[in-house]
A = this chain, B = another copy of it.
Amino acid sequence: MNTRQENTSAALADNAPEDTRIRRSKLATPLITLAHGGGGKAMRELIDDVFIDAFSNPTLNTLEDQARVPLAELARHGDRLAMTTDSYVVDPIFFPGGDIGKLAICGTVNDLAVGGATPLYLTCAVIIEEGMPVETLRRIVSSMAETARAAGVSIVTGDTKVVGRGSCDKIFINTAGIGVIRQDYQLGANRARPGDRILVNGYLGDHGAAVLNARGDMHLTSPIQSDCAALHGLIFALLAAAPGTRFMRDATRGGIASVLNEIAEASACGIEISEAATPLREEVKGFCEILGLDPLYLANEGKLVAVVPEAEAEAALQAMRAHPLGQEAADIGAVLANGRAGRVYMQTVLGGRRIVDMLIGEQLPRIC
Interface residues of A (CB under 8 A from B): 33-35, 37-44, 63-72, 74-75, 78-87, 89, 91, 111-112, 114-115, 117, 121, 123-127, 156-159, 161-164, 166-169, 172, 174, 176, 178, 180-181, 188-190, 249-250, 252-255, 258, 262, 266, 297, 299, 357-366
Contact = CB atoms under 8 A, between A and B. Distances in A.
B85 A189 contact: no
Copies in the complex: 2
B111 A82 contact: no
A248 B344 CA distance: 54
Given A258-B40, A358-B41, A159 B85 contact: yes
Contacts of A181: 68
A297 to B, nearest CB: 8
B40 A67 contact: no
A99 to B, nearest CB: 17
Q: Which 4 A-B pairs have the closest CB atoms?
A: A39-B253, A40-B359, A39-B254, A176-B176
A-side interface mostly: mixed
A162 B365 contact: yes
A87 B127 contact: yes
A123 B84 contact: yes
A89 to B, nearest CB: 5
B64 A189 contact: yes
Nearest to A156: B83
Given A80-B68, A123-B176, A42 B111 contact: no
Given A44-B358, A85-B124, A365 B34 contact: yes
A120 B361 CA distance: 36
Contacts of A64: 115, 188-189
A125 B254 contact: no
A69 B164 CA distance: 39
A83 B178 contact: yes
B365 A85 contact: no
A359 B44 CA distance: 10
B85 A157 contact: yes
Given A71-B74, A83-B176, A85-B124, 18 more contacts: A34-B365, A37-B365, A38-B253, A38-B363, A39-B255, A43-B253, A63-B189, A65-B86, A68-B80, A68-B181, A69-B81, A72-B79, A83-B156, A85-B174, A87-B127, A127-B172, A168-B168, A178-B178
Contacts of A357: 41
